[in-house]
Amino acid sequence: MSAHDHDHDHHHGSELSDTQLRVRALETILTQKGYIDPQAIDALIEAFETKVGPHRGAQVVARAWVDPAFKAALLEDATAAITSFGVFERASEHIIAVENTPQRHNMVVCTLCSCYPWDMLGLPPVWYKSAPYRSRAVIDPRGVLADFGLSLPDSVEIRVWDSTAETRYLVVPMRPDGTQGWSEERLAGLVTRNSMIGTGLPLRPDEVAA
Amino acid sequence: MSAHDHDHDHHHGSELSDTQLRVRALETILTQKGYIDPQAIDALIEAFETKVGPHRGAQVVARAWVDPAFKAALLEDATAAITSFGVFERASEHIIAVENTPQRHNMVVCTLCSCYPWDMLGLPPVWYKSAPYRSRAVIDPRGVLADFGLSLPDSVEIRVWDSTAETRYLVVPMRPDGTQGWSEERLAGLVTRNSMIGTGLPLRPDEVAA
Amino acid sequence: MNGVHDMGGMHGFGAVIEEKNEPVFHAPWEGRVFALNRAMGLTGLWNLDMSRNAQERLPPHVYLASSYYERWERGLEKLLLESGLVDADELAAGRALHPAKPVARKLAAADVPGLLARGSYARPAPAPARFAVGARVRAKNINPVTHTRLPRYVRGHVGVVEAIRGCHVFPDSTTTGKGDDPHWLYTVVFDGVDLWGPQSDPTVKVSVEAWEPYLQAA
Amino acid sequence: MNGVHDMGGMHGFGAVIEEKNEPVFHAPWEGRVFALNRAMGLTGLWNLDMSRNAQERLPPHVYLASSYYERWERGLEKLLLESGLVDADELAAGRALHPAKPVARKLAAADVPGLLARGSYARPAPAPARFAVGARVRAKNINPVTHTRLPRYVRGHVGVVEAIRGCHVFPDSTTTGKGDDPHWLYTVVFDGVDLWGPQSDPTVKVSVEAWEPYLQAA
């Protein structure tokens, strides 16, 4: 590949400052016209930076690992289960939990934009929103998994969920071996963001500090 | 549409000078390494600027309008007919001439790149190589014709030829009314480039100076 | 619309590269854009699909060359202009030049906790669901120039209804002035080999969420 | 490969705009790029399809944001680097730094008239043509990551063989190191309504040139 091919970064760099100017202009206009309250904007940003995130999905998964009744309810109707079992007070509608098994590995994508279960996993990482992921996840999911260093046996079905509507998918990965008797909180520490998207597995016990 | 949408031109502008530098570098390297002779490059450019062009296709079409035997041969095997009837000494292989009739209008595109009958029409115009034409010609040919100010009755079949191989299509438009007795040379003056691609019609007698 | 946003199955974009310890926002402006979009969405002048469509209508090379939040910024500009909340001369000047228009709701800091959960797109069903779980259905070959959520890569292919997800606002209608026009939503699963041909990975299955008007019995 | 170059049927690129009294080249560098490509093609180190493929492999946003001759320039750089005729440090330095490699042919000014006509891609047939004029054929659902000339918009659709165009070099093979591998070439015509759905213009027919390996009996 040519050394000249890295135009994207170059172009991207110049776009950023242009965009910064545009954002500043927009916010100024919207504030001056009274459409927005900048303090509410601050509060919204802070909430998405601090309140939501993969730790929430991890709590749901950990609960499913220790509580078979919750797991059954979660797989039946995730939104209802999360609130009725008291994991969280509130959960968005149409959350769908899908379970990995030795026979099936689930992977979530949104090819058309970047739909993602915000209130379970926070805002999506850049790779999830990127063209490489959106384009390849449905035609070459094992190739994508290889990009994440993940290789699954050929006996495993790869099930890709393209989030084309307002349903939001959460993968429930398999509980790692060697975690018998672990507390929900300790188990939650094994549940990575990628394991709930399907591009990773939970951490093994030996991968976390005791 | 936003006033900010015209980034293409902006971007394009900066790309051009970058490309100019690249071209200069390439030609220098290729010359220094002895792969090219700059005088041959000059000659090639001049030839494509002056020797080939739509006037060649127009001669072929005009001949077909006046000589039924040539027209029959042209539609059978254009490359062979053009040389054997002496229109030109040489013609590229795999030229295919397709005839417009009151029932059928032909239109040529190359969706995958920009294949075009160079030795009949010269190098293609920018619009032919553009994404708007390449993308829409096969899904909305009448919309494309409307962009050229051309509206054909619904009774006319629109036949789009996507040039996906080394065959090269030349449209033989219908001879305009009111040209009885015209010489081949005078007729050739009515045959526009676009009429041989299928995005236009030949000029009418009243559209050219007598 | 058959835009570059509909990129499922395309080649040439390269490897998926993960950033370690990625921040929620990479620069303050990203957070501002995100929050401005959320806040202005409360005006009720557009919905999520109109917002998506605004981004889809960006020039294709701009769409591809822009980052996610750059697209949100461009999309918001389009929505503000098209809804008349902001005029082009204001964007150019970088300040308000005209009186504001009335809007349904203005985000207050106290509203923020409620915005962490998503809104509901379920609506009462106008009719019973036409397809049952297990039904074989073909994704229709539609190619609207307007917004749709039926990706090109499934059109014309036959899949199986795996679940019925309720009755939802229909994106193709809301984005073309036809209101919510709710329709049943199905999870339809396709064999990878049917989608991508006999050379493709036989262990792959791909599902999409498809509204009833996208489907026909197969 | 399913790249952005395969744009038949896409929306969003806007109107076709014709430039009146358009020059052959809009700037001297365009002519240089054009001629350099033609000249270097004579080295015999790549053919037309490899040259097309070099452009198809440009990053998609670069492909779309570039003009035709800009793409030729980028494509030529790729071919020169990949064939070893030029090294990356030479491109960066803007001058030759290493000895030249032997090439099959160097364009001389006297050769120019012969270059105005295109080369031949016809080859002797290894077997009789499998399909006759009038045969119904289905374009296979193939999705190679490598170069192909079967556009996505016809894959899976049934058309009719309208003409047999001889036996030609097979692009999918020449670009993947398998030589000329000649195959029969057919003009296959499809109904627009079959390609684009019942809402589309019923007066449209679209043909592609399809090599025999792209087709199966239908």
- CA C12, C17, C22: angle at the middle one, nearest 5? 145
pLDDT at A15 over 80: no
What does the pLDDT look like over C152-177, one tens digit per residue?
A: 999 999 999 999 999 999 999 999 99
What residues of D are in contact with residue C142 (Cβ under 8 Å)?
A: 197, 199
Using a CB–CB cutoff of 8 Å, tell me whether A103 touches chain C.
no
Compute the radius of gyration of chain C from its Cα atoms: 20
Element (H, E) at A81: helix A78-84
Residue contact B1–C78, C-beta within 8 A = yes
pLDDT at B50 over 50: yes
> Which chain B residue has its CA at the smallest distance from A11's CA?
B11
Residue D160's pLDDT is 98
> Which chain C residue has its CA at the smallest distance from A164's CA?
C209
Residue contact D91–A8, C-beta within 8 A = no
Least confident interval from A80-89, B152-161, C134-143? A80-89
pLDDT at C125 over 70: yes
**What is the Cβ-side half-sphere exposure of residue C2, based on CA atoms within 13 angstroms?**
24
Residue C119 binned pLDDT confidence (cut-offs 50, 70, 90): confident
Compute the radius of gyration of chain B from its Cα atoms: 20
Overall average pLDDT of the B171-191 stretch: 97
Give the minimum alpha-carbon distance from B29 to chain A in angstroms, rounded to a whole number: 15
Cβ–Cβ pairs < 8 A, chains A and C? 282
**What is the Cβ-side half-sphere exposure of residue B154, based on CA atoms within 13 angstroms?**
2
Q: In this structure, what DSSP letter does residue B203 have? A: P
Question: Which of C1, C16, C45 is the mutation pick for testing A, counting most A CBs within 10 A?
Answer: C16
Handedness of CA D47, D49, D52, D56 (dihedral sign): negative
Residue B210 binned pLDDT confidence (cut-offs 50, 70, 90): low
What residues of A are in contact with residue C195 (Cβ under 8 Å)?
A: 138-139
Do residues C79 and C33 make contact, with C-beta atoms less than 8 angstroms apart?
A: no
B-facing residues of D in 101-140 (CB < 8 A) are: 103, 106-109, 111-113, 115-122
- List the chains bordering chain C where 3 or more Cβ pairs fall under 8 Å: A, B, D
Residue contact B131–C60, C-beta within 8 A = yes
pLDDT at C9 over 90: yes
Residue contact B3–C143, C-beta within 8 A = no
Residue B16's pLDDT is 54
Give the minimum alpha-carbon distance from B41 to chain D in angstroms, rounded to a whole number: 6
What length does chain C have?
Answer: 218
Distance separating alpha carbons of residues C199 and B7, to the nearest angstrom: 40
B182: left (phi over 0), alpha (psi -120 to 50) or beta: beta
Residue C66's pLDDT is 96
Neighbours of D134 (CB within 10 A): 8
Distance separating alpha carbons of residues D175 and D149, to the nearest angstrom: 11
- High-pLDDT (> 90) share of chain A, %: 86
What residues of D are in contact with residue B33 (Cβ under 8 Å)?
A: 85-86, 96, 99-100
Of A4, A7, A8, the CB nearest to D77: A4
What Å distances lie between residue C161 and A125, C190, C214, CA to CA?
31, 9, 12
Structural tokens at position B77: 């095997």
What residues of D are in contact with residue C1 (Cβ under 8 Å)?
A: 11-12
What ipTM does this complex have?
A: 0.94
Overall average pLDDT of the A26-35 stretch: 97
Of B4, B131, B139, the CB nearest to C91: B4
What residues of D are in contact with residue A139 (Cβ under 8 Å)?
A: 2, 143
What does the pLDDT look like over B19-34, one tens digit per residue?
A: 899 999 999 999 999 9
What are the percentages of helix, strand and coil residues in chain A, rounded to 5?
A: 50, 10, 40
Of A109, A142, A164, the CB nearest to C149: A164
Residue C198's pLDDT is 96
Structural tokens at position C138: 């073909």
Residue contact B22–A11, C-beta within 8 A = no
- CA C56, C57, C60: angle at the middle one, nearest 5? 80
Of A2, A8, A11, the CB nearest to D78: A2
Structural tokens at position A84: 């009725």
Distance separating alpha carbons of residues A17 and C140, to the nearest angstrom: 43
Structural tokens at position A162: 């393209």
Using a CB–CB cutoff of 8 Å, tell me whether D58 touches chain A.
yes
Average pLDDT, chain C: 96
Neighbours of B154 (CB within 10 A): 11
Residue B11 binned pLDDT confidence (cut-offs 50, 70, 90): very low
Give the minimum alpha-carbon distance from B139 to chain C in angstroms, rounded to a whole number: 9
Handedness of CA B27, B31, B34, B39 (dihedral sign): positive
> Which chain A residue has its CA at the smallest distance from C115's CA?
A44
Q: What is the pLDDT along chain D (218 residues), one digit of tens a residue?
A: 999 999 999 999 999 999 999 999 999 999 999 999 999 999 989 999 999 999 999 999 999 999 999 999 999 999 999 999 999 999 999 999 999 999 989 999 998 888 877 778 999 999 999 999 999 999 999 999 999 999 999 999 999 999 999 999 999 999 999 999 999 999 999 999 999 999 999 999 999 999 999 999 99
What residues of D are in contact with residue A3 (Cβ under 8 Å)?
A: 88, 91-92
Residue contact C59–B3, C-beta within 8 A = no
Structural tokens at position A66: 């220790």
Residue B114 annotated to the active site: yes
Using a CB–CB cutoff of 8 Å, tell me whether A9 touches chain D.
no
Residue contact C78–B2, C-beta within 8 A = yes
Using a CB–CB cutoff of 8 Å, tell me whether B177 touches chain C.
no
pLDDT at B2 over 50: no
Distance separating alpha carbons of residues C197 and D101, to the nearest angstrom: 42
Least confident interval from A184-188, B21-25, C115-119, C205-209? C115-119
Counting DSSP H helices and E strands in chain D, the numbers are 8, 5
What residues of C are in contact with residue A116 (Cβ under 8 Å)?
A: none
Least Cα distance to A18 among C4, C60, C77 occurs for: C77
Of C2, C60, C77, the CB nearest to B4: C77
> Which chain B residue has its CA at the smallest distance from A12's CA?
B11
Residue B110 annotated to the active site: yes
Using a CB–CB cutoff of 8 Å, tell me whether A24 touches chain B.
no
pLDDT at A4 over 90: no
What does the pLDDT look like over B102-120, one tens digit per residue?
A: 999 999 999 999 999 998 9
Residue contact D62–A131, C-beta within 8 A = no
Distance separating alpha carbons of residues D53 and D63, to the nearest angstrom: 12
Question: Which of D55, D71, D74 is the mutation pick for testing A, counting most A CBs within 10 A?
Answer: D74
Overall average pLDDT of the A26-49 stretch: 96
pLDDT at A47 over 60: yes
Residue B18 binned pLDDT confidence (cut-offs 50, 70, 90): confident
What residues of D are in contact with residue B41 (Cβ under 8 Å)?
A: 32, 35-36, 39, 107
Do residues A7 and B22 make contact, with C-beta atoms less than 8 angstroms apart?
A: no
Using a CB–CB cutoff of 8 Å, tell me whether D216 touches chain B.
no
Average pLDDT, chain B: 92
Using a CB–CB cutoff of 8 Å, tell me whether B59 touches chain D.
no
Residue contact C107–A40, C-beta within 8 A = yes
What residues of D are in contact with residue A1 (Cβ under 8 Å)?
A: 78, 81
Give the minimum alpha-carbon distance from C4 to chain A in angstroms, rounded to a whole number: 9
* Catalytic residue (one of B84, B113, B130, B183): B113
Residue B3's pLDDT is 38
Distance separating alpha carbons of residues A71 and A87, to the nearest angstrom: 12
Give the minimum alpha-carbon distance from C99 to chain A in angstroms, rounded to a whole number: 7
Using a CB–CB cutoff of 8 Å, tell me whether B11 touches chain A.
yes
What does the pLDDT look like over A171-190, one tens digit per residue?
A: 999 999 999 999 999 999 99
What does the pLDDT look like over A100-150, one tens digit per residue?
A: 999 999 999 999 999 999 989 999 999 999 999 999 999 999 999 999 999
- CA C145, C146, C150: angle at the middle one, nearest 5? 95
- List the chains bordering chain A where 3 or more Cβ pairs fall under 8 Å: B, C, D
What does the pLDDT look like over C33-70, one tens digit per residue?
A: 999 999 999 998 999 999 999 999 999 999 999 999 99
